[in-house]
Amino acid sequence: MSTDATWLAGPASPSSTAALPTHTGPRRADGGGTGNEGDPGLPEPGPRAVGFAVGTRLDHGAGLGRTGLIRTPHGDIRTPAFIPVGTKADVKGLVPEMLRDLGAQAVLANAYHLYLQPGADLVDEAGGLGRFMNWPGPTYTDSGGFQVLSLGAGFKKVLSEEFSGTGDTTDPRLRMQAVKASRAVVDEDGVDFHSHIDGTVHRFTPEVSMGIQHQLGSDIMFAFDELTSLLHPRDYQEESLARTHAWAARCLAEHRRLTEARPSHPYQQLWGVVQGAQYEDLRREAARTLADMEVEGQRFDGFGVGGALEKENLGRIVSWVCEELPEDRPRHLLGISEPDDFFAAVEAGADTFDCVTPSRVARNAAIYGPDGRFNITNARFRRDLTALVEGCGCYTCTHYTRAYVRHLFKAKEILAATLATIHNEWFTVHLVDGIRASIEQGTYPSFKADVLGRFYA
């Protein structure tokens, strides 16, 4: 890598799909395959288009990495790809045109938050999530399972301690707290929770989650699952996994019913979520169960890898899962955005990623650069009239200086968060684009060494 981080300068790979091999894609909800059985490749773009094709395979690491293409009714997603998070139908501080210009291929929103505010029925009336937020490309929605248990069940403190590294996962008191917090709201049918907005009581079941996500109209949605953490003991993990798989089957049945009830709407892909915490046998069992699951002719169009993952074991756990999943369906790793995690996950077979971190830390003046993260409010940037990152092609770096962005933060101007978020999302999107390009060009090992060698120096 050159000293000016040329991978940040612009698009990292061509948009052509000609190099992708053909294969039969996932089955449609009506049981008719991809909608293009005369051609074993991807279906032509259209309201019923669903498919995934593997491109270049990565001969590095676990041997599971690959490039590919996900086809949706609202456009294609070239993988590996980072999907910015627009929790409440917006990436905070940005308008959709900014997302398009920084290179985002899709956006992920949150079913829990949109159910509470403004209501999934209103989004449906507006024409679906994309039209409601004026985003023309593909959209993802999560099931709300994480938020129901972390926000609605008062479980946030336990999760925060665990993910921040301040909680002792071997402490029996913390483990008991985690189990009690779960069992207080979870039963075999669904989850009761309190709104974090006004305290009102609500209930999610697999059928409710599917109904909300169908109303939201996302191109890719996730099955309702139970979140567990590393604090939960083995016996609870097993109990939870069985419940998640029962819910997954109910999600498939309800997804098929709702798809048939709304024939004028574009087809929405449903991806199952693989849980199992840090246990290899549970992760592999979960992956096999969801891969083989079929209800009334409906199967999962792709898969998410969920739950708490120990950073040092992330690649190993993802590889356990991807070794069991079918090659012809895409895999999404929920909630990661650190450079080393991207490389580990891609090598282990993950195709797409999402995380709130790039925009969240941007609002606190933290800026991503090829030499690591830095805080733009530091005094040394007061008179620095260079770009946030020299050579970066984002709007912020091509129009503004470190001194100016620092001034905005110090003056508490709203524009500060917008300019910082543009840059951080650009950095993250283009980092994963760079990984994709390096796989296609056969330069992955050197690209990885250059990126991680600089970022963590």
| CB within 8 Å of 202: residues ≥ 6 apart | 115, 116, 152, 192, 193, 194, 195
| CB within 8 Å of 275: residues ≥ 6 apart | 225, 226, 227, 228, 240, 241, 244, 282, 283, 286, 306, 307
Helices 414-441 and 402-410, interaxial angle, to 10°?
Answer: 140
User: Each residue of 232-255: pLDDT tens digit?
Assistant: 889 989 999 999 999 999 999 999
| Length of the chain measured in residues | 457
Determine which helix (DSSP H) or strand (DSSP E) holds 271, and give its type and residue range. strand 269-274
- Measured CA to CA, the distance from residue 431 to residue 9 in angstroms comes to 11
Encoded tokens for 242:
């069985």
- Measured CA to CA, the distance from residue 379 to residue 410 in angstroms comes to 11
Encoded tokens for 7:
């991978």
Catalytic center residues: 142, 354
Burial of 152 (0-12, 13-18, 19+ CB in 10 A): buried
What are the φ/ψ torsions at residue 96 (nearest 5 degrees)?
A: -55, -35
Encoded tokens for 439:
């796989």
Answer whether 108's CB lies under 8 Å from 114's CB.
no
Measure Cα distances from 379 to 375, 397, 403 in Å.
10, 19, 10
Q: Tell me, what's the pLDDT at 148?
A: 63
Give which of 92, 88, 87, 117 is closest to 197, Cα–Cα.
117
Q: Tell me, what's the pLDDT at 455?
A: 96
| CB within 8 Å of 422: residues ≥ 6 apart | 94, 98, 102, 394, 395, 396
Give which of 3, 15, 154 is closest to 78, Cα–Cα.
15
- Measured CA to CA, the distance from residue 191 to residue 318 in angstroms comes to 27
Q: Tell me, what's the pLDDT at 158?
A: 56
Q: Tell me, what's the pLDDT at 102?
A: 96
Q: Tell me, what's the pLDDT at 41?
A: 64
Residues in the chain with pLDDT < 70? 1-5, 11-41, 47-48, 146-167, 169, 177-184
- Measured CA to CA, the distance from residue 20 to residue 207 in angstroms comes to 36
- Measured CA to CA, the distance from residue 22 to residue 336 in angstroms comes to 30
What are the φ/ψ torsions at residue 59 (nearest 5 degrees)?
A: -90, 70
Q: Tell me, what's the pLDDT at 141?
A: 97
Task: Starting at the earlier edge strand, list the strands of the sheet with 75-79.
Answer: 51-57, 66-72, 75-79
